[in-house]
Copies of this chain bind each other. A is one copy, B any other.
Amino acid sequence: MKAHEIQSSRSGIDAVTLVERPTPALGPGRVLVRMRALSLNYRDLPIVHGVYGVQPKVPISDGAGEIVAVGKGVTRWQVGDRVMGNFLPDFVAGPMTTAKARAALGGSAEGVAAELVAFGEEAVVAVPTHLSWEEASTLPIAAVTAWNALFVHGGLRPGETLLTLGTGGVSIFALQLAKRIGARVALTSHSDEKLARARALGADLGINYRETPDWDEAVRAHTQGEGADLVLDLGGARTLATSIRAARTGGRVAMVGVVTGPEATVSIPTIMGKGLRLHGISVGSRESFEAMNRAFEQLELRPVIDRVFAFDALREALAYLESGAHFGKVVVTV
């Protein structure tokens, strides 16, 4: 079968190389999935660039496909079922623990950029019936992260105000979900054109952070001086301090990304004075994923896909993601 490998002999995105690999073995309790679509996340970029040192051979964590064989003892699935991999294969339920977070697809464990991938039967979830392969491939990290940030840890309720940063996958899923439950949504971008698209998806306030570097003030002005009930900080280094200022007293800040760098300096008196709760979000459990799927089905929610690349154009897809030109998800068909 064909698969992409990260080959250390080359550097950067060029390290990603299409190769022929043997069909994965199908042990007891495992299912073999014919991958049909992948989707990319920011996290895939440093991995491909070798930042974490020990790389998986096969990159990319998120994808959807069809079960073509089931191993001995498998009870949850049968051939023909449409499934997505769970980003942390051992994180089934309950709060996160060290053990549950150890394996991560396309990171500490092998990825899914291959024609055939074997998963443990507890590590895949059913695709919502209304979604295409391309749409389904976008859920495992981006949608589950948005879901956990909003509903599992953030407790977002109708009538509250969400601030989310940028127009990447997580941010657009958060915008869609928040609008569907009757929250107000403020969103930042450097591009007026992207802000216009966000408004078309329901955003109540679009802030161009280049024109308005003090975007926390814009959020407070939009909320009678109070600030946002929940902030999704996807920027990290250069945004977290402003995100904290943008939150209201008693508000919550979900830390879900490091697009502008991994280290941030924060004001502790601000966090204490507002009694803020900050939560590091690391995707979520399979039970969260399944609960989210029920919501997607009920809401008939469809992921926003920016562009679809062919399987042998994975490098181009990664370069496009790196350019930051996208709005929503970047997808690769298999």
A interface, CB within 8 angstroms of B? 28, 73, 92-98, 101, 151, 153, 157-160, 177, 180-184, 225-226, 236-237, 240, 248-250, 255-256, 258, 262-282, 285, 287, 291-299
Q: Please measure, in the bound complex, the distance between the C-alpha atom of A275 and the C-alpha atom of B95, giving whole angstroms.
A: 9
Name the CB-closest residue of B to A101.
B249
**A249 and B96: CB pair below 8 A?**
yes
**A159 and B273: CB pair below 8 A?**
no
Q: Please measure, in the bound complex, the distance between the C-alpha atom of A267 and the C-alpha atom of B265, giving whole angstroms.
A: 9
Option from B28, B92, B236, B265 in Cβ contact (under 8 Å) with A92: B92
Question: How many copies, total?
Answer: 4
Known interface pairs A92-B93, A182-B181; A272-B256 also in contact (CB < 8 Å): yes
**A267 and B272: CB pair below 8 A?**
no
Known interface pairs A97-B249, A250-B96, A271-B255; A298-B262 also in contact (CB < 8 Å): no
Q: Please measure, in the bound complex, the distance between the C-alpha atom of A268 and the C-alpha atom of B292, giving whole angstroms.
A: 25
**B250 and A298: CB pair below 8 A?**
no
Q: Which residues of B contact A279 (CB under 8 A)?
A: 275-278
**B265 and A273: CB pair below 8 A?**
no
Q: Which residues of B contact A271 (CB under 8 A)?
A: 255, 278, 280
**B280 and A276: CB pair below 8 A?**
yes
**A184 and B298: CB pair below 8 A?**
yes
Q: Shortest Cβ distance from A293 into chain B, in angstroms? A: 8
Q: Shortest Cβ distance from A118 into chain B, in angstroms? A: 15
**B180 and A182: CB pair below 8 A?**
yes
Known interface pairs A96-B249, A97-B250, A184-B298; A272-B278 also in contact (CB < 8 Å): no
Option from B182, B265, B296, B297 in Cβ contact (under 8 Å) with A265: B265
Known interface pairs A181-B180, A262-B268, A275-B96; A157-B101 also in contact (CB < 8 Å): no
Given contacts A98-B248, A153-B277, A160-B294, 5 further A-B contacts (CB under 8 A): A28-B73, A97-B250, A157-B295, A159-B295, A270-B280
Q: Shortest Cβ distance from A193 into chain B, in angstroms? A: 26
Q: Which residues of B contact A267 (CB under 8 A)?
A: 262-263
**A93 and B96: CB pair below 8 A?**
no
Q: Which residues of B contact A184 (CB under 8 A)?
A: 298
Q: Please measure, in the bound complex, the distance between the C-alpha atom of A79 and the C-alpha atom of B49, giving whole angstroms.
A: 44
Option from B95, B248, B262 in Cβ contact (under 8 Å) with A250: B95
Name the residue in A153, A266, A291, A292 with the highest tally of chain B Cβ atoms < 10 Å from its Cβ. A266
Q: Please measure, in the bound complex, the distance between the C-alpha atom of A293 and the C-alpha atom of B159, giving whole angstroms.
A: 8
Q: Which residues of B contact A292 (CB under 8 A)?
A: 159
Option from B28, B158, B282 in Cβ contact (under 8 Å) with A181: B158
Name the CB-closest residue of B to A281.
B272
Q: Please measure, in the bound complex, the distance between the C-alpha atom of A264 and the C-alpha atom of B270, giving whole angstroms.
A: 12
Q: Please measure, in the bound complex, the distance between the C-alpha atom of A92 and the C-alpha atom of B91, giving whole angstroms.
A: 11
Q: Please measure, in the bound complex, the distance between the C-alpha atom of A95 and the C-alpha atom of B181, giving whole angstroms.
A: 22
Known interface pairs A94-B287, A248-B98; A158-B298 also in contact (CB < 8 Å): yes
